[in-house]
């Protein structure tokens, strides 16, 4: 008979080794004693990803010490903890392993190292780690005297499609009673179903139960969504951990499917929940409570303000409108209506006279020139300066309101509307921003975001009668094809996009790389976000389309 | 007898595959016909590093086509070209090789792939490439009928200390007449001597000549310094390529040492030359000619303006002083003196009334509060806005003037003095900035940078009687120990630093990560620069020192 297993789906903080150990300790105290195996996620002790902290000797020493201290308090249970260990130094070579430490009866009794090291997109594991030397199951002797052979693996070890080594097979072939996978698998839209299907495929092949424990919480750009899984040897999803929340799950990996466990969340529900967690954790973990948002009366800032109000509490959020002569009357009204509906602080800071004063100061350079992008950017940067001043004064963080489509096209002012500590909707296309807005209103049962905001034509309002020079219904999916799917010219033509549009939009995406290099961290919610997972050169003369 | 070999130490542009092919073609036309082997650097066809362009199928297709086209024009010579090739798709797995293509008689006759893939610091090669399947010399049949066995390797293959596989040994053991290494080895202070010593060690072991062809030019943060080498089988440095310049070298790898070839450049000479090349190429390759620099009358902006004037030409540079009431009279004088000495454009834009206007606009938030960092930042951001406005108006790029010590400590205003397309001295410590300043004056044979600027106490002049709150003579080397050498608490205490100072400076370095994430690209000139080669989390609660 299989034992009960506790899955500690918890939210550690990168670098806070001692705090993370205490978090683990608290789970051990709280976990039902029937659970003879307690599983923590990948990298729970250092936090994940700890990045270049792993290159500091002192950090690795502190990890060792804290793991020993955690082990010292472990009773008869078998405790699996994600951490990083130093291997024997091999000819002067630094050897680090991303590992699952097994603690039992006061001691560290074994390690099982990660074999497959993701080095693509946001992952840099080959920068730090050496792959496991060997792949072997581990045997736990239970209180009953029964021996349980466990195929213990770490995150990517399950995602073996692109690799020569098939870790699950190597474990399965050696005869096991159970798979356990500890993960720090970041959220992206649709990832839950992917993980579930990968697990099911292994269960189907080996007829053994599968326990999957995933991290939860935000870390810089990344959001870990939890949703740990316990799957029976018959493929039934017996338990699913909470989405985007900590949970201590205790389950026996057998029996019938849990009601509702299969239900994937709707896309915009997931996106909103992920952003709120990423936003909240960025504030909490950097020691901030208050946020400032510039409210233009447009869809993007309305959605950011709403998400911030829900993630941080409306009293922690200050919305600021900064009209000029180019601002339409509805902009100010809509910003105010939104702020009232959300219950956030709201102030109007007119900037028209500042604009004039700056233009005067610039007379030595501007006199006699045609107004253009310099004048437009000036306004955006006055707003950036005011918003940062308020944030600095309040000890708050400014949120930037750009979406992914704008970031892709460079339709944003560097040091202007791009100012901010974090870009909550920087990985949502314009289309997705609208979908999330509608979801937020629906969920609230009332119009948080005014209807007019959802209906009106997007405009930066930086010059008279300006509207955004893009048909977003056409351009937003095209940008996604270029950025997420890396679609080439032929594929895009086949999808019906016009050559001239492809060339223009691709060109904008390439030439705006310099702006993105200085953009705020974007909370990643899709398979390909701007930021650490997309590494393009600024100097880039590649032109695939058209004339040679 | 060994043949003459041409080393084409050239400066390609990332992404400009066709342009790079034409550059190679021009070298083939120009190279002395006696040279039966022509060697191009690593990655010369795509440009290096091409980063995520390598994930675009169209880009790889274009590489293939252009390589074929280049090969079609190759005569009896053996031409070695650095490029990227697709391997046979193995079970759906993407396989790319960083490779040396060998062209001869109109055809691509062989490839030799890179074995050791650097994945540390600024290098991400495991993100893109698969290591070579095998390590084998290649045989060139010369016009004389003589057969030459060449140990062809790529860059890191020479730097095998940290790796299990020793590529040079594997080649040497199979019997060769000559080593050829094609490199894209970025400059860092002292790298020339390191490379020379590595090459000498192989020559000493195998008694065979070594030909080393390195890339030259700037690419985003990186600067490639050229300085290719031809070393005889007796270890004589027969030829060294130009430093920081293109050169087509033709040499027979035997004979006596070249006069002066051994002489490494003085540190500050190297640093200045590297920055000028990085700066110039960033402008040229992004299609810009003009630069804007804010001149404070301090050492940092003076050095940046001087480097820019020398790299771009003084007529392309505009220096702007923006005094407030807190600016001392010598600041403005020194800025003007500098501009005159350099022959750059110079304007004064007073910002005092803008500061007042912004403070008034912020009254709803600022009234009744103590002046602090919010007020100081305000001024820096007004300056940022004006400088960007001028740059936008002129189609110029703004240069940011922060040094590495300031960047480390976060002693800079985000969206203020941190505004700019490029940070020329962002990898120079405060101490090195002074050294480079003295060198620039000495080289010019007159005071470009006024003596008073070299002598006065650094100050941001953002509030009355402010001076920088750091003793740079103490703090500048401490920051280098922390950032470059990752020195821990014990090592620093042993070096005589006080515990409290270590804690304070390390703390500032950790908590200012969010600013650096949005900083301009820094031209890298040391072993560890801020930017792509240093990846720290923003959310980072690690505190190694002191109380537990």
Q: Mark whether B155 is an active-site residue.
A: yes
Helices (H) and strands (E) in chain B, counts: 18, 18
Task: Compute the C-alpha angle A373/A375/A381, nearest 5°.
Answer: 95
Residue whose pair of structure tokens reads 């060294």 in the numeric block: B240
* Nearest-by-Cβ selection for B388 from A19, A364, A377: A377
Helices (H) and strands (E) in chain A, counts: 18, 18
> What 3-state DSSP class applies to B398?
strand
Backbone angles phi, psi at A58, to 5 degrees: -60, -35
Nearest CA in chain B to A369: B393
Q: How far apart are the first and last CA of chain A?
A: 69
Distance CA B142, CA A326 (A): 73
Answer whether B220 sits within 8 Å of A539, measured CB to CB. yes
CA distance B489 to chain A (A): 8
Task: Compute the C-alpha angle B538/B542/B546, nearest 5°.
Answer: 140
Catalytic entry in B27, B36, B42, B461: B42
Residues paired with residue A302 on neighbouring β-strands, in sequence order: none
Distance CA A79, CA A66 (A): 15
Share of chain B above pLDDT 70, in %: 98
**DSSP classification of residue A421:** S
Chain A interface disruption, residue of B48, B392, B502, most A CBs within 10 A: B392
- pLDDT of B546 > 70? The answer is no
Distance CA A100, CA A83 (A): 6
**Whether B430 contacts B403, CB under 8 Å:** yes
Chain B interface disruption, residue of A386, A387, A393, A491, most B CBs within 10 A: A393
How many beta carbons lie within 10 A of that of residue A230, not counting itself?
27
Active site residues of A: 42, 114, 155
Distance CA A491, CA A468 (A): 27
Chain B residues inside the 8 Å CB shell of A539 = 13-15, 218-220, 281-282, 285-286
Each residue of B438-461: b (16+ CB within 10 Å) or e? ebbbeeeeeebbbeebeebebbbb
* Nearest-by-Cβ selection for B127 from A57, A119, A369: A119
Query: Of B39, B29, B33, B28, which is closest to residue B6 (Cα–Cα)?
Result: B39
Give Cα separations from B54 to A272, A486, B85, B199 (angstroms): 33, 11, 10, 30
Distance CA A220, CA A281 (A): 9
**Whether A47 contacts A40, CB under 8 Å:** no
SS (H, E, C) B516-530: HHCCCCECCCCCCCC
Chain B residues inside the 8 Å CB shell of A15 = 537, 539-543
Backbone angles phi, psi at B427, to 5 degrees: -110, 15
* Nearest-by-Cβ selection for A124 from B15, B286, B535: B535
CA distance A115 to chain B (A): 15
- pLDDT of B187 > 90? The answer is yes
pLDDT, position A260: 73
**Whether B410 contacts B373, CB under 8 Å:** no
- Complex ipTM value: 0.95
* Nearest-by-Cβ selection for B388 from A163, A381, A419: A381
pTM attached to this predicted model: 0.96
> On the CB side of B521, how many CA atoms lie within 13 Å of its CA?
26
Bond preceding residue A49 cis, omega within 30 of 0: yes
pLDDT in tens, B109-158: 999 999 999 999 999 999 999 999 999 999 999 999 999 999 999 999 99
**DSSP classification of residue B314:** G
Chain A residues inside the 8 Å CB shell of B347 = 364-365
Beta-carbon contacts below 8 Å between A and B: 270
Chain B residues inside the 8 Å CB shell of A286 = 514, 538-539
**Whether A121 contacts A127, CB under 8 Å:** no
pLDDT, position B1: 78
> What 3-state DSSP class applies to B216?
strand
Answer whether B17 sits within 8 Å of A542, measured CB to CB. yes
Q: Mark whether B42 is an active-site residue.
A: yes
Distance CA B532, CA B535 (A): 7
Chain B interface disruption, residue of A63, A368, A389, most B CBs within 10 A: A389
Residues paired with residue B78 on neighbouring β-strands, in sequence order: B37
Query: Of B357, B369, B366, B296, which is closest to residue B326 (Cα–Cα)?
Result: B296
Phi/psi class of residue A91: alpha, beta or left (left: φ > 0; alpha: ψ in -120 to 50)? left
Distance CA B152, CA B5 (A): 14
* Nearest-by-Cβ selection for A92 from B161, B353, B540: B161
Q: In what order do the strands lie in the sheet with B397-399?
A: B345-348, B317-321, B291-294, B397-399
Nearest CA in chain B to A89: B162
* Nearest-by-Cβ selection for B362 from A219, A378, A389: A389
Chain A residues inside the 8 Å CB shell of B513 = none
Chain B residues inside the 8 Å CB shell of A14 = 537, 539-542
For A243-270, the DSSP string reads BSS-EEEEE-S-SSPPTTTT-PPPHHHH
For A508-536, the DSSP string reads HHHHTHHHHHTSPPBPP-SSS-SSTT---
Bond preceding residue B49 cis, omega within 30 of 0: yes
Distance CA A8, CA A216 (A): 10
Residue whose pair of structure tokens reads 């299609």 in the numeric block: B287
pLDDT, position A180: 98
Token pair, residue B513, equals 């990560």
Residue whose pair of structure tokens reads 């895009």 in the numeric block: A492
Nearest CA in chain B to A49: B537
Distance CA B470, CA B451 (A): 22
**Whether B205 contacts B175, CB under 8 Å:** no
pLDDT, position A92: 55
Chain A residues inside the 8 Å CB shell of B163 = 93
Length of chain B: 548
Answer whether A539 sits within 8 Å of B219, measured CB to CB. yes
Distance CA B272, CA B436 (A): 7
Chain A residues inside the 8 Å CB shell of B218 = 539
pLDDT, position A89: 63
Tell me chain A's radius of gyration from C-alpha atoms: 26
Q: At what angle do helices A17-30 and A57-72 cross, to 10 degrees?
A: 20
- From first to last of its 548 residues, chain A has per-residue pLDDT tens of 799 999 999 999 999 999 999 999 999 999 977 899 999 999 999 999 999 999 998 899 999 999 999 999 999 999 999 999 999 765 556 799 999 999 999 999 999 999 999 999 999 999 999 999 999 999 999 999 999 999 999 999 999 988 999 999 999 999 999 999 999 999 999 999 999 999 999 999 999 999 999 999 999 999 999 999 999 999 999 999 999 999 999 999 999 888 877 677 899 999 999 999 999 999 999 999 999 999 999 999 999 999 999 999 999 999 999 988 777 788 899 999 999 999 999 999 999 999 999 999 999 999 999 999 999 999 999 999 999 999 999 999 999 999 999 999 999 999 999 999 999 999 999 999 999 999 999 999 999 999 999 998 887 777 777 778 888 889 999 999 999 889 888 889 999 999 999 999 999 999 999 999 999 999 999 999 999 999 999 999 998 744 43
What long-range pairs does A129-132 form, CB within 8 A, spacing at least 24? Answer: A129/A84, A129/A96, A129/A97, A129/A98, A130/A87, A130/A95, A130/A96, A130/A97, A132/A97
**Whether B475 contacts B409, CB under 8 Å:** yes
Name B369's Cβ contacts closer than 8 Å, sequence gap at least 6: A393
Answer whether B366 sits within 8 Å of A389, measured CB to CB. yes
Answer whether B162 sits within 8 Å of A366, measured CB to CB. no
CA distance A143 to chain B (A): 36
Distance CA A354, CA B23 (A): 51
Distance CA A160, CA A151 (A): 15
pLDDT, position B548: 37
Answer whether B393 sits within 8 Å of A374, measured CB to CB. yes
pLDDT, position B33: 75
* Nearest-by-Cβ selection for B366 from A59, A127, A393: A393
Q: Predicted confidence band at B93 (pLDDT cuts at 50, 70, 90)? A: low
pLDDT, position A461: 77
């Amino acid at each position: 008979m299989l034992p009960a297993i506790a899955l500690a789906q918890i939210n550690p903080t990168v670098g806070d080794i001692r705090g993370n150990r205490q978090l683990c300790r608290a789970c051990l105290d709280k976990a039902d004693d029937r659970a003879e195996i307690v599983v923590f996620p990948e990298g729970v002790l250092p936090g994940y990803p700890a990045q270049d902290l792993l290159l500091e000797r002192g950090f690795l020493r502190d990890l060792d010490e804290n793991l020993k201290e955690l082990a010292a308090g472990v009773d008869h249970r078998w405790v699996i903890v994600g951490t990083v260990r130093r291997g024997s130094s091999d000819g002067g070579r630094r050897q680090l392993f991303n590992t699952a430490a097994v603690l039992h009866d006061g001691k560290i009794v074994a390690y099982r190292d990660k074999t497959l090291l993701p080095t693509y997109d946001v992952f840099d594991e080959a920068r730090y780690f050496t792959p496991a030397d060997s792949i072997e199951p581990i045997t736990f002797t239970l209180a009953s005297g029964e021996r349980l052979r466990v195929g213990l693996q770490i995150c990517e070890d399950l995602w073996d499609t692109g690799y020569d080594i098939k870790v699950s097979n190597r474990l399965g072939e050696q005869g096991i009673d159970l798979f356990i996978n500890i993960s720090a698998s970041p959220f992206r839209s649709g990832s839950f179903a992917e993980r579930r299907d990968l697990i099911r495929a292994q269960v189907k092949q080996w007829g053994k139960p599968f326990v999957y424990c995933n991290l939860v919480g935000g870390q810089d750009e990344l959001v870990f969504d939890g949703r740990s899984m316990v799957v029976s040897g018959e493929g039934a999803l017996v338990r699913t951990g909470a989405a985007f929340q900590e949970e201590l799950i205790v389950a026996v990996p057998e029996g019938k499917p849990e009601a509702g466990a299969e239900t994937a969340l709707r896309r915009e529900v997931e996106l909103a929940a992920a952003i709120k967690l990423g936003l909240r954790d960025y504030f909490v973990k950097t020691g901030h409570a208050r946020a400032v948002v510039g409210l233009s009366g447009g869809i993007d800032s309305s959605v950011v303000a709403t998400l911030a109000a829900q993630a941080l509490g409306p009293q922690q959020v200050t919305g600021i409108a900064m009209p000029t002569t180019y601002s339409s009357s509805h902009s100010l009204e809509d910003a105010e209506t939104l702020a009232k509906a959300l219950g956030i602080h709201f102030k109007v800071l007119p900037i028209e006279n500042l604009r004039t004063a700056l233009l005067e100061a610039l007379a030595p350079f501007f006199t006699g020139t045609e107004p253009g992008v310099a004048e437009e950017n000036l306004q955006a940067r006055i707003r950036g300066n005011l918003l940062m001043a308020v944030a600095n004064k309040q000890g708050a963080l400014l949120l930037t309101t750009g979406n992914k489509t704008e970031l892709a096209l460079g339709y944003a002012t560097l040091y202007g509307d791009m100012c901010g500590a974090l870009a909550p909707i920087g990985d949502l296309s314009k289309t997705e921003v609208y979908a999330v807005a509608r979801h937020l209103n629906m969920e609230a049962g009332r119009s948080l975001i005014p209807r007019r905001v959802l209906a009106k034509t997007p405009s930066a309002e930086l010059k008279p009668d300006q509207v955004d020079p893009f048909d977003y219904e056409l351009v937003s999916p095209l940008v996604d094809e270029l950025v997420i799917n890396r679609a080439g010219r032929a594929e895009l033509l086949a999808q019906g996009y016009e050559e001239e549009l492809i060339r223009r939009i691709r060109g904008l995406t390439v030439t705006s790389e310099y702006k993105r290099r200085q953009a705020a961290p974007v909370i990643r919610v899709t398979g390909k976000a701007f930021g650490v997972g997309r590494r393009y050169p600024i100097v880039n003369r590649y032109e695939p389309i058209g004339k040679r």
